[in-house]
Structure 1
């Protein structure tokens, strides 16, 4: 293959192949579609990627990806500012928003605690979370982390740091999503019910 394809195409295929869910064959098909497209797709991709590079940022408040700082959710007066939903990654925010079941604020951790992978509490966005909960007058912290061992460990650690806050309600998604499941790929009906019937954790901490 390396003797046939130009270096530039090989580089494009290698980059695309690093994207989760895209294997070598799919990366090859996408690459050739971009190159052979008759609607100037190469230039369009260049323009979009440059726009992203110049204008997309991470919200300094919640950690969500946005084109403003603070982001649109943090700035919205229509949001319930007494509840804060804790998620692992930005795509979880998008998934939860699609359900229409939640209208509070968010906090993106950008990871979960995973001792096996060497990821500790200081490696993810926890300190800012604790600061926001204490300063914003939050009444409910709603954990929407994947129901696996890393999610449970992360939730327990954060909850332990909140025990001294009087009147704070700590909740998590109901048992609709299977153990080891992924919020991002849950169907809307299951996730909607898991949010609507979220369970209180305070008594178990």
Structure 2
């Protein structure tokens, strides 16, 4: 009868790293061997940063952005235009748009996009909170900033129908964004133009 070999710490780390998006087995091994070569304190700092990220971050109850405070600093900022709401798919989109320095409204994070073939409908996203904000008169203009993909466009169409029925002005980021790309994958200049030239 064959005995099972205990899993080594290296194998366990590589297996965990390969679960991350975009990290294959070779990349995971390179990361693991890099961590082996650095000072122990550096590896421990990385582990602590990951632990803090998971335990300290919250989701803003107003907009759905990931933050360490609720409400998030953007929603809590009295200088922002709270009637202008830019709707995005992911928290990383907020980060990309904020780096342009061109947008002074607030956000709403859907945490995904409609994908009927994958079984993702409006109830699986942070759509109800957006519609609550609109019903309460908190949304003067909704800028739809979903990614320019088939699912992103479908999500934008659905949201436009819902919001226009509540007499909310609906605009879309300009099509300077390349089709098939994500907000995180384009330059600050392209994002700045898309914000300024929204229609």
Any idea what SS the aligned residue of 1:129 has? helix
Tell me, which stretches of 5 or more residues in structure 1 are unaligned? 200-205
* 1:44 Cα deviation from its structure 2 partner: 1.2
Deviations 1:9-36 (A, max 9, x none): 1121122122222222111111111122
Moved over 4 A (4+): 3-6
Any idea what SS the aligned residue of 1:162 has? helix
Match of residue 178 from structure 2: 178
**Equivalence map 1:96-175=2 (5 Å):** 96-166=97-167, 168-175=168-175
Match of residue 58 from structure 1: 59
Distance in 1 separating the partners of 2:185 and 2:6:
36
* 1:91 Cα deviation from its structure 2 partner: 0.4
Matched residues, number? 196
Match of residue 26 from structure 2: 25
Tell me, which stretches of 5 or more residues in structure 2 are unaligned? none
Match of residue 203 from structure 1: none
* 1:145 Cα deviation from its structure 2 partner: 0.8
TM-score, with normalisation over the residues of structure 1?
0.89
Match of residue 48 from structure 2: 47
Distance in 1 separating the partners of 2:76 and 2:115:
32
Any idea what SS the aligned residue of 1:99 has? coil
Q: C-alpha root-mean-square deviation of aligned residues, in Å? A: 1.8
TM-score, with normalisation over the residues of structure 2?
0.92
